[in-house]
Structure 1
Amino acid sequence: MPLVLVAALTTGYAQKAQPLKVINTKPLVLATTEEVQSAVLGEKRVLNIYLPEGYKKEDTTKYPVVYLLDGGAEEDFVHVVGLIRYNTQPWINRFPRSIVVGIENTNRRKDFTFAVPNLDFVTRIGYKPEHFPAYGGSARFISFLKEELQPYINSHYNTSGQRTIIGESLAGLMATEILLKHRELFDNYIIMSPSLWWGKESLLAEAPALLKKSLDKDIKVYIGACSKDEDKIMYDDAVALDETLKKYGGSRMKVYYDYLPGEIHATIIHQAVYSAFRLLYPHTETQY
């Protein structure tokens, strides 16, 4: 008898069920997108900007800024913002609440590579010279960061002065070039699977001399390397970068090397960025 009763009740509810009625819809806003005109680059650029929870322009609270290369909405922006937003919740409190500036690409192979005399080296990594119809624009892109973007962000948002840059692959090459040639621009460098094969590892060869330049502030560097079974060249270059920085970087440069054998070039970013922030930022107490 009880089984019959349950069946009858279930049937009754099924008969009364009505389709859900939508009462209201609204966008789920994660960030804002700004289009700016760069005189240095001679083109419009798109910035995706995430502001931490509780951010108010009129407040005196200042926030670190994370500059994300490959920062388009269809690139790495959403993934990195998700990691930062989750880990800045008060019951976790692993990272400081931060502003994230994602720089959307127009031509990353041009912007993130430095000038070279020819492209005969690209075949060893699986490319052909025609894959790089434009290249060698890194000096101009670095000028854009220094002369236009950083001043713009500092003047429009409540920034603390602490700056982090994140780059993977060719963007990792760019972050490494900035570290070696203009390392005063950032306090923290998150470099993942960097394409240091560019120019036959010439940036690595120049590194000892470039690192002789004195610096009057502390720098932290995270180097993430993916599986050496996937790409031995890029793995070896990441190891060489780690060894070079530790040998020639001086007492004010702290270097963290992180080998992630379970990740490949295409999957390294989530685990590496998470690991990098835990290493680079000082311990914070959980607020819960």
Structure 2
Amino acid sequence: MNNWFKFLYLSVFLFFTSGRAQETLTIGEKQTLFSKILNEKREIWIHLPKTYNDTTITPAKYPVIYLLDGEINFEYFTGMTDFIARTPYADIPECIVVGIKNTERTRDLTPTKSQKKSPVNPDVTLFADSGGSENFVKFLQDELKPMISKNYRTQEYSILVGHSFGGLFAINTFLTHPEYFKAYVANDPSLWWDNKVTISRTKDYVEKNKKFPAGKSLYVSQADNEEQQKNWNSDMTQAIEEFKEIIEKNGSLNYKHSFFKGETHGTVSYPGNYEALKFIFKGFRTDIKQLAKNPKQLEADYKNLSEKLGAEFAPSEAYLNVVLTFMKTNDFKESEAYFMNMKNRYYPKK
């Protein structure tokens, strides 16, 4: 592991009467690591939550989101997660985002070797470098995740997010290694791949296992691709619909499918990821006004959320500080005392 340095920065200019000063707003860090499994260097982009380095609170652990196609999605995704995790309106907990930059995208994200011939030249096999997803998921599980856990304060809750071939990869990983991640997001997944091999695998999984593992979540978005329905995207649409029917008939999975009218294959990830995170963490948001009347509700809500997600979640110290400020400002003395006691229980000062 080497080449730690800051990147992806915006320059902001603060104007003073005496002149002009420049500061830097940083949204991430870059690391380069050599993968023995893939036999190549991989570039990883990492975004830390706003409270990660806050010295006024107890150091916390955070869920981790592994984001495929990092070079395309990282900038908007990190801003979005910060926005919907802001107190007191948070729909999700603050998360570490790990963007994975591509090298050989088709190789890494497809589950089988393509045999499809070019319609213009039958001597040419399309996607000739395909079929390496098992190696790539092994890289994620055995090399990348341990590296992130070693260097950052991580919670035992991780999400895999992908689009197109990345969505195909996310669903295939869910079927073959469901224990690797707690939640999976597939935006307009390329389930048409290799004569819909992943649809066949889904049917086989349901037939063999009857139920999906408890504590898992799967979100699938679908673009209407109105302008392109007569072309290759018609196969994509049909395959996603077939997958949806299989999953919904089974009924044992925390699953949601969203159709986005007016969105194309290239734009659906933005609204899809927003809805996906809110769906996965449904139940995380609390009403601070209601807590004034019923302070015990906060721990009850987090208990229900933890049971649903299959991991332990608790109110963050940052949020309890916001709650305490609200109670004090509005003179809810009994509730203020209750939450002060809760804060001391969860985050005792040494």
Same fold per TM (> 0.5)?
Answer: yes
Q: CA deviation at 1:190?
A: 0.9
Give yes or no for contact 2:163–2:269 (8 Å, CA) kept in 1: yes
1:256 Cα deviation (Å)?
0.3
How far 1:228 moved relative to its partner?
4.9
For the pair 1:217 / 2:214, whether they are aligned, the reply is: yes
- Cα-to-partner distance string for 1:2-38 (whole Å, 9 max, x where unaligned): xxxxxxxxxxxxxxxxxx9852223221110111111
After superposition, the Cα gap between the structure-2 partners of 1:134 and 1:276, relative to the gap in structure 1 and judged at 3 Å, is same
1:136 to 131, 140, 148: 131
Q: Which range is displaced more, 132-141 or 227-236?
A: 227-236
Task: Provide the secondary structure at the position in 2 that maps to 1:273.
Answer: helix
* 1:208-247 map, 5 Å: 208-211=203-206, 212-213=208-209, 217-229=214-226, 230=228, 231-247=233-249
Q: Which digits, 9 at most, give the CA deviation of each residue in 1:115-153, with x for residues without a partner?
A: 236123x76xxxx95653421111100110111111111
Residue-pair matches, total: 261
Query: 1:24-72 CA deviation, whole Å, 9 max, x = no partner?
Result: 2232211101111111110000111011011149944211111101112
State the match for 2:275 in structure 1.
Answer: 275
Deviation at 1:254, TM superposition (A): 1.2
Cα shift at 1:165: 0.8
Q: Which has the higher helix share?
A: 2
CA distance, structure 2, for counterparts of residue 164 and residue 129 of structure 1? 37
Q: Work out whether 1:197 is the aligned partner of 2:214.
A: no
Q: Secondary structure at the match of 1:172?
A: helix
Q: Note if 1:179 corresponds to 2:174.
A: yes
Q: Distance in 2 between the 1:286 and 1:236 partners?
A: 41
Moved segments of 4+, more than 6 Å: none
1:62 alignment partner in structure 2:
61
Q: Counterparts of 1:8-87 in structure 2 under 5 Å?
A: 23-56=20-53, 59-72=58-71, 75-87=72-84
Q: 2:286 maps to what in 1?
A: 285
Supply the AA of the counterpart residue of 2:258.
Answer: D
Identity %: 28
Cα deviation, 1:174-204, whole Å, max 9, x if unaligned, reads: 1011011111111111111001111110111
Tell me the equivalent position of 1:146: 141
Structure 1: gaps spanning 5 or more residues: 1-19
Letter in 2 for 1:259: F
The whole-number CA distance in structure 1 between the counterparts of 2:105 and 2:47 is: 22
1:158 Cα deviation after fit = 1.2
State the alpha-carbon separation in 2 of the partners of residues 144 and 129 from structure 1: 30
Asked whether the equivalents of residues 83 and 274 of structure 1 are also in contact (C-alpha less than 8 Å), the reply is: yes
Distance 1:258 1:117, change over 3 A: closer
Q: Work out the CA distance in 2 between the residues paired with 1:109 and 1:21.
A: 54
What SS does the aligned partner of 2:52 have? coil
Distance 1:215 1:234 in 2: 24
The letter for the 1-side match of 2:267 is T
2:117 aligned with 1:115, yes or no?
A: no
CA apart distance, 1:156: 1.6
Tell me which residue corresponds to 1:260.
260
Structure 2 distance, partners of 1:57, 1:139, is 38
* Separation in 1, partners of 2:19, 2:278: 42
TM-score by length of 1: 0.83
Distance 2:74 2:198 in 1: 27
- Whole-angstrom distance in 1 between the partners of 2:86 and 2:124: 46
Q: Is the 8 A contact 1:50 1:99 kept in 2?
A: yes
Contact 1:222 1:256 survives alignment (8 Å): yes
Residue type at the aligned position of 2:23: K
Assess if the C-alpha contact under 8 Å between 1:90 and 1:286 holds in 2.
Answer: no
Instruction: Please tell me the root mean square deviation across aligned C-alpha atoms, in Å.
Output: 2.4
Q: Which amino acid aligns with 1:221?
A: L
Query: Shift of the alpha carbon at 1:215?
Result: 6.1
Q: Which amino acid aligns with 1:92?
A: Y
Maintained 8 Å contact 2:111/2:131: yes
Separation in structure 1 between the aligned mates of residue 212 and residue 279 of structure 2, nearest angstrom: 22
Which of 158, 162, 176 does residue 163 from structure 1 map onto? 158
Q: For residues 44 and 254 of structure 1, do their structure 2 counterparts lie closer, same or farther at Cα, with a shift above 3 Å needed?
A: same
